[in-house]
C-alpha cells in the first residue's frame, strides 16, 4: 500500500508540472522555478541596399550633325527688260501662277517695228541690185569683185533685219519657267530702261536649303543623305529632304563646307529666305542599346554602370556611343534585357546585394510566374 501511494503522488506531481508548463507558469522544483526551454528564432534575412533600376532600352539611334540654313527657291529670277520702252500692258496678276512661255508684259513696239520695216526695205533694194549684178557678171560687164561687194551689202542688211527683229521680239517678255510671280514694281504706261526691275518669278514646287558643316565630317557626306528641317513658323512639324550637291571648296576662314539639299514643298508653305535648323543624318543603327545618363558611373577615363544580376550590383565597364538629351548609347558592355542601376550608386560596391525599389518581392514574382504557367 505504501509503495502504490507514493507512485500516485509522484504521478500527480508530474501532471501538475506539465499543466503549469502548458499555461506558461514556471514550475518550482524545491524552492527554485524551472525555466522552460525556448527555441531560438531564425535571424532575419539580410536585405540589399535600396536602389532604382531600369531595363536597357533598344531602339534606333541616329548619328546626325546639326546646322542652321536658309531656304532658297528651286528657281528664281527677276524679270527685267533688255531694251528701253514704255509698258503697253501687264499680262499677269500679283501672286499668280504662270506657265513657262506665258506672256508677262509688253512694251510699246511701234518704234522698233518701224526700224525693222526700214531695214527690210533697204534689204529688198540691195537684193535687186545683187540680182542685176549677177546678170551683168554673166555677160562679162562687171568683175567678180564687184559682184562680191554687192553680195556683201545684201548679207549686212540681212543681219540688220535680224537685229531689228530681235528688238521687236524683246518688247514682249515671257516667263522663262513655270512659277509664281511676286509683287510688281511698275505700272502700265511707265517708261522703263533696260535692267529695271519689273517683278520676281519663283518656282516653289520644291525648296533648296543651304547649310554648312565642319570639314571633319566631309568624308561622311554624300548625295542623297537625309536631312531634317525644323522651322520657327511650324514648330510642331519636321520637313525631310535629301542632299543633292556638295560644294567642292572648303571655306578657309570657317573650315566648313557648303551643302545644298532639296525639300518637297507641298502647298507652297515653305518660302525662300526662311531660317531653318538642319539635322544631317550621318548613320542609323536600328537596334542600338541606350541607358539613362544617370546610370553612368565614370571612373577616370573609363565609364561603368552597375548591372543588377541575381540581386547583386555588378560593376560593368561600357563603351559609349552617341549622346542624346537624357540618355546615352552603349556600344559595348550591355545586351538587351540587362537591368542597370539609375539611382543609389554612391553607396554601392561591386557584388553588393541590392533591392530594386518598386520591383515586386521575389516570392510575388515566383507566384505570378507559377500562376501564369498554370493558366497557360
> How does the average pLDDT of the chain come out, rounded?
85
The model carries a pTM of: 0.65
**Collapsing DSSP states into helix, strand and coil, what is residue 245?**
strand
In this predicted model, what pLDDT tens digit does every residue of 154-202 receive, in sequence order?
999 999 999 999 999 999 999 999 999 999 999 999 999 999 999 999 9
Kindly report the number of other CB atoms within 10 A of residue 80's CB atom: 15
Instruction: Kindly tell me if the per-residue pLDDT of 47 is higher than 80.
Output: no
In this predicted model, what pLDDT tens digit does every residue of 258-300 receive, in sequence order?
999 999 998 899 999 999 999 998 888 888 999 999 999 999 8
Instruction: Kindly tell me if the per-residue pLDDT of 136 is higher than 60.
Output: yes
Average the pLDDT over each of 32-46, 57-71, 99-113, 160-174 and give the range with the smallest value: 32-46
- What pLDDT was estimated at residue 258? 96
Kindly report the number of other CB atoms within 10 A of residue 20's CB atom: 15
Instruction: Kindly tell me if the per-residue pLDDT of 11 is higher than 90.
Output: no
All structural domains of the chain, each given as residue ranges with its CATH number in brackets, are 51-60+286-360 (2.40.420.20), 65-73+203-284 (2.40.30.170), 81-108+177-197 (2.40.50.100), 110-170 (1.10.287.470)
Instruction: Kindly tell me if the per-residue pLDDT of 63 is higher than 50.
Output: yes
If you ran DSSP here, which 8-state letter would residue 39 be given?
Answer: P
Grid cell for residue 246: 556638295
- What pLDDT was estimated at residue 18? 40
Let me know how many helices (H) and strands (E) the chain has, helices first. Answer: 4, 21
316-331 mean pLDDT:
90
- What pLDDT was estimated at residue 26? 47
114-128 mean pLDDT:
95
Average the pLDDT over each of 33-42, 72-81, 179-188, 298-307 and give the range with the smallest value: 33-42
- Confidence band for 116, pLDDT divided at 50, 70 and 90: very high
- What pLDDT was estimated at residue 30? 46
* Closest of 95, 76, 97, 92 to residue 172, by C-alpha: 92
- What pLDDT was estimated at residue 82? 95
Amino acid at each position: 500500500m505504501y509503495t502504490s501511494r507514493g507512485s500516485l503522488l509522484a504521478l500527480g506531481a508530474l501532471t501538475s508540472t506539465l499543466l503549469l508548463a502548458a499555461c506558461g507558469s514556471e514550475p518550482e522544483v524545491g524552492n527554485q522555478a524551472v525555466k522552460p526551454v525556448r527555441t531560438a528564432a531564425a535571424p532575419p534575412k539580410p536585405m540589399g541596399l535600396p536602389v532604382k533600376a531600369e531595363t536597357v532600352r533598344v531602339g534606333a539611334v541616329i548619328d546626325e550633325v546639326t546646322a542652321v540654313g536658309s531656304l532658297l527657291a528651286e528657281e528664281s529670277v527677276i524679270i527685267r527688260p533688255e531694251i528701253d520702252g514704255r509698258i503697253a500692258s501687264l499680262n499677269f496678276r500679283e501672286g499668280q501662277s504662270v506657265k513657262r512661255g506665258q506672256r508677262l508684259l509688253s512694251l510699246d513696239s511701234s518704234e522698233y517695228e518701224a526700224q525693222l520695216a526700214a531695214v527690210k526695205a533697204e534689204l529688198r533694194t540691195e537684193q535687186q541690185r545683187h540680182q542685176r549684178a549677177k546678170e551683168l557678171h554673166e555677160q562679162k560687164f562687171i568683175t567678180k569683185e564687184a559682184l562680191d561687194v554687192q553680195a556683201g551689202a545684201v548679207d549686212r542688211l540681212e543681219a540688220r533685219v535680224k537685229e531689228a527683229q530681235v528688238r521687236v521680239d524683246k518688247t514682249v517678255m515671257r516667263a522663262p519657267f513655270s512659277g509664281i510671280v511676286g509683287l510688281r514694281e511698275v505700272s502700265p504706261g511707265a517708261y522703263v530702261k533696260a535692267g529695271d526691275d519689273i517683278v520676281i518669278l519663283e518656282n516653289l514646287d520644291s525648296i533648296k536649303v543651304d547649310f554648312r558643316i565642319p570639314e571633319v565630317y566631309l568624308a561622311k557626306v554624300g548625295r542623297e543623305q537625309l536631312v531634317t528641317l525644323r522651322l520657327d513658323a511650324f514648330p510642331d512639324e519636321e520637313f525631310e529632304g535629301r542632299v543633292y550637291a556638295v560644294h567642292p571648296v572648303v571655306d578657309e576662314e570657317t573650315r566648313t563646307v557648303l551643302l545644298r539639299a532639296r525639300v518637297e514643298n507641298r502647298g507652297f508653305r515653305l518660302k525662300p529666305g526662311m531660317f531653318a535648323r538642319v539635322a544631317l543624318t550621318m548613320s542609323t543603327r536600328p537596334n542600338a542599346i541606350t541607358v539613362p545618363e544617370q546610370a553612368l558611373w565614370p571612373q577616370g577615363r573609363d565609364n561603368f554602370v552597375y548591372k543588377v544580376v541575381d540581386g547583386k550590383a555588378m560593376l560593368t565597364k561600357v563603351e559609349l556611343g552617341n549622346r542624346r538629351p537624357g540618355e546615352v548609347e552603349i556600344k559595348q558592355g550591355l545586351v538587351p534585357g540587362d537591368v542597370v542601376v539609375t539611382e543609389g550608386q554612391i553607396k554601392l560596391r561591386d557584388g553588393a546585394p541590392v533591392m530594386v525599389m518598386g520591383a515586386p518581392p521575389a516570392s510575388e514574382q515566383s507566384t505570378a510566374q507559377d500562376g501564369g504557367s498554370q493558366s497557360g
